[in-house]
Amino acid sequence: MAKPTRQSSGKPATIHDQKLVRGNGGELHQIAEGDSEILTTAQGGPVADDQNTLRIGQRGPSLIEDFHFREKIFHFDHERIPERVVHARGYGAHGFFETYESLAAYTRADIFQRAGEKTPAFVRFSTVAGSKGSFDLARDVRGFAVKFYTNEGNWDLVGNNIPVFFIQDAIKFPDVIHSVKPEPDRAFPQAQSAHDNFWDFISLTPESMHMVMWVMSDRAIPRSFRFMQGFGVHTFRLVNAKDESTFVKFIWKPKLGMQSVVWNEAVKINGADPDFHRRDLWNAIQSGDFPEWELNLQLFDQDFADSFDFDVLDPTKIIPEEILAPVPVGRLVLDRMPDNFFAETEQVAFMTQNVPPGVDFSNDPLLQGRNFSYLDTQLKRLGSPNFTHIPINAPKCPFHHFQQDGLMAMRNPVGRVNYQPNSFGEGPRESPQHGFRSFAEAEEGQKVRLRAESFADHYSQARQFFNSQTAPEQKHIAMALSFELSKVETTVIRERMVSHLLNIDEGLAETVADKLGMKQLPKPADAAVAPRDDLEPSPALSIIRNGPDSFAGRKVGVLVSPGADAALLKNLQAAIEKEGAVMEVIAPKVGGVEAADGSLIAAKHMIDGGPSVLFDAVALILSEEGAERLTGEAAARDFVADAFAHCKFIGFTSGAVPLLQKAGVDPEADEGMIGLDDPKAITGFIEGCRKLRLWSREMAVKL
Q: Which residues are catalytic?
A: 87, 160
Check whether the bond before 537 is cis (ω within 30° of 0): no
**459 appears as a binding residue in the annotation:** no
Residue 346 per-residue DSSP state:
I
Rounded to whole angstroms, what are the CA distances from 496 to 15, 173, 309, 465?
A: 11, 21, 27, 21
How far does CA 540 lie from the centroid of its chain? 17
Contact 501, 509 (CB under 8 A): yes
CB-based contacts of 495, cutoff 8 Å, min separation 6: 518, 522
Q: Is 374 annotated as a binding residue?
A: yes
Strand partners, 245: 239
Give the Cα separation of 611 and 639 in Å (integer): 5
In contact, 259 and 223? CB cutoff 8 Å: yes
55 exposure class (CB count in 10 Å sphere: 0-12, 13-18, 19+): buried
Burial of 549 (0-12, 13-18, 19+ CB in 10 A): exposed
What is the rounded CA–CA span in Å between residue 197 and residue 520? 24
Could you tell me which of 50, 57, 45, 122 has the C-alpha nearest to residue 91? 122
- Per the CB < 8 A criterion, the answer to whether 354 and 156 are in contact is yes
Is residue 545 part of an annotated ligand binding site? no
Q: How far apart are CA 596 and CA 274, in angstroms?
A: 36
d(CA 240, CA 109): 8
Backbone phi, psi, residue 365, to 5°: -65, -25
- Residues ≥6 apart with Cβ < 8 Å to 137: 221, 261, 266, 267, 269, 270, 274, 276, 277
Task: Say if residue 381 carries a ligand binding annotation.
Answer: yes
Is residue 69 within 8 A of residue 170, CB to CB? The reply is: yes
208: helix, strand or coil: helix
What residues contact 256, with CB distance under 8 A and at least 6 apart? 226, 227, 291, 292, 548, 552, 553
**Alpha helices per DSSP H over 383-537:** 460-467, 471-486, 491-501, 506-515
Kindly write down the DSSP assignment for every residue of 254-285, as one continuous string.
ETT---B--HHHHHHHHHH-TTHHHHHHHHHH
CA 247 from centroid of its chain's CA atoms: 23
β-pairing verdict for 236-239 and 230-231: unpaired
Q: Are strands 617-621 and 650-652 parallel, antiparallel or unpaired?
A: parallel
Which residue ranges make up the annotated binding site?
84, 124, 173, 370, 374, 381
Which residue ranges make up the annotated binding site for heme?
84, 124, 173, 370, 374, 381
